[in-house]
Structure 1
Amino acid sequence: QVLETYMFHSFLKARLNRKMDAFARLELSTQSEEDRLNLMFQSPRRLTMEKMASKRFNPQYMISRRMVISMPNLQDIKLPEGPTRNSSLRRIETGVGKGRMSVKMPSKSVSTFKIPEIHFPLMFQCVHSYYTDFFNHLSKAINTLPPDNSALLARYFYLRGLISLMQGKLLNALSDFQNLDKTDLRIFPTDLVRKIVETMPPSERSQADRKPELKKLISRVMEKQREVMKIDDHVKNFELPKTHMQLDDFVKRIQESGIVKDIDTIHRLFDALTVGHQKQIDPETFRDFYNYWKETEAEAQEVNLPPAVIEHLDKNECVYKLSCSVKTNYGVGKIALTQKRLFLLTEGGRPGYVQIAAFRDIEDVKSTTVAFLLLRIPTLRIKTLSKNEVFEANLKTECDLWYLIVKEMWAGKKMADDHK
């Protein structure tokens, strides 16, 4: 009955809209500096190694995780987006022909900014000095740049704003972001500025309001957010579709379900689910896909790596997929996939870590079969540049899925490295 009351409805709506009220301020006051910064930036859905290590023995986290996983239907709500704006990043057009990929890049001049070198232990004082040095480098670059080079000037302001944010100097960060109005509004970080304003302590907010240019910036950003909220100001409960869906309806359903928000990704998903069929998805197919996604999410959230394994991984890595227990030529265990690598979580009395491959180190990936008595077992083979031995895993029914995932991650990492 409480869940149906107007009071709870208003409270839930305020949480979903990230409203900075008394409850939000109380929550912020109990969080660490790291958690407050994480609120301003988009965090990965999976637990990073750093979070996994810190929350391993947190009873409150364990209880909340079990509650989320046990929900019969995900009630994830589409959060209101900030005002639309043109992206400052140029689109890379790719064309594929005769097995080769060509990338067409605009022929524009490239400017290089050398950041200060990191040659110190990761201690607070050293990191603080590094941010100060970085800030001074950017200030010098801004002061020596001709005013007519507004595009490059905007990027320096953007970077300096981020450095100020990492230093906790919110007013300086807002001032640099405000300068994007005069240089290149296309890269103005609307969502980030709104989150900065919402998490500012009252004393700093008062200082910002006393500066006309910042007061105008805050008013404009927050007013646009209120306009977005007015467009759709009610809490939605996600429901599975009951009729066939065309592309537009499918995009809406996927976004409301919380699976993904990116339009291009949803379009590729629609194409994958409609291969060989009419360009529409029936309710049964969507339900099966949605239930499988929920199960996968629950399994990923349940991943709890031992400290001996975590120490081999970077602190910002997340386990995105974990296989069932399989036989490999490295031993028996579960294959784990992060954004950087594949590794084998070996089984036994003491679970261990065996590196399979970093994605940038992969030379070839194949999905094949091996003979066992009268059967042929689907097998994934991964050849790396640094090892002579080819990794083999008898993945059986999961083989095709893992082959596609690894190949996609490998191709993405290779493309990113080629254009650095």
Structure 2
Amino acid sequence: MTSPEESALLARYHYLRGLVNTVSNKRLDALEDFQSLYKTDAEIFPSQMVKSLVASLSEAERLQGDKRPDIKSLISRHIDESECVFKLSSSVKTSRGVGKIAMTQRRLFLLTDGRPGYVEVAQYRDLEEVKVFSAPFLLLRIPSLKLRVHGRKEAFEANLKTETELWNLMVKEMWAGRIVADRHKDPQYMQQALTNALLMDAVAVDVLLYTPGQLWVSVSGGKMMVFDASSWSLIQTCQVGNAKLNCMLGVDKDQVWVGSEDCVIYIISIVSMVCNRQLTEHRAEVTGLALDTDKISHKVAYSCSAEGTIIVWDVSTLQVKKQFRLSCDRLLSVHSCSKTLWCCSRDSVME
């Protein structure tokens, strides 16, 4: 049996080795040391540091950690599986360092560049002020976001550039939702606030598509969000490549076709919300999609790409029926009407 003196010495050893592994970016080894420390002396267990370590784990490290029972139990104890990042900014300059601001359903936090872990910016219920202000930079004044948090003297400031106003609206919506949810003791208000904030984010995207009962929204970087059209609640999110999405088309009752800047047409099942096919015949970004509704027995779809190529698709077999190219300055869209295909480019409309 270990004596109290030996236990104290062992605890210090695990603590110090955990610190060394942390600064050496050996996150899994550090977590293993802190798990041993937790078993030896829970009173000096650095819970905040462990939370930061867990939050900074890469996907590969998390998978490795799942194979090590002690680390897996530590990870599960210090991360809330119900919390999800719904919006992540680009890397921006803030009053607490350079990093990416993340928005979850409960709080805002900063993922600092070049350092493991995160810095909590604010829980929504602790916010006292959210506003846009102009920060001086040389001879310019740059729009920035300022947050005042209860119990903190210094305000949090972030130079979000062109996204400042969007973040201002989204954070205010989440703040208001938290206040109303606490007042009425009903978490449903928070869920509604999150939906509203996501819709605000969606307003800035390029493509919306309505299918019976659902609203499909493309977000930057190939992310798709699907909302229930009656309640505006978020049903599903899915990833469709990593490029900007330019156009969407509902095909039959079970498919959505999505044209992307990466030259691919992604086909998503409405039932499973999963991309199960890709059409890769285009050699430039796909800019338009259309369906020929006059041919009931044998539907065809049209797709166009920026350099002028138009492809005619057999919807049932997904085979190319015909392909031709127009001479124009950036082909933007195609529309099928009364057995005529209308093509819109930057400088003309062609029939």
Give TM-score scaled by structure 1 length. Answer: 0.27
Greater share of residues in helix: 1
Give TM-score scaled by structure 2 length. Answer: 0.32
Greater share of residues in strand: 2
